[in-house]
Amino acid sequence: MALKIVKDVCTACGDCEPVCPTQSIMPFKGVYKIDASTCSECEGDGEPGVPQCMEACMEDDCIVPA
List the domain range (segments joined by +) for residue 49: 1-65
**Dist. CA 25–CA 1, nearest whole Å:** 15
Name the domain count of the chain. Answer: 1
- Looking at residue 46, its pLDDT comes to 62
CATH number of the domain within which 43 lies: 3.30.70.20
Mean of pLDDT values over 41-56: 83
Q: How large a percentage of the chain has pLDDT more than 70?
A: 94
**Dist. CA 17–CA 46, nearest whole Å:** 15
Task: Give phi and psi for 41, each to the nearest 5.
Answer: 55, 30
Q: Would you say the pTM of this structure is higher than 0.85?
A: yes
- Looking at residue 44, its pLDDT comes to 76
* DSSP codes, the chain: --EEE-TTT-----SSGGG-TT--EEEETTEEEE-TTT--TTTTSSSTT--HHHHH--STTSEEE-
Query: 49 pLDDT exceeds 80?
Result: no
The pLDDT tens digits for 1-22 are 899 999 999 999 999 999 999 9
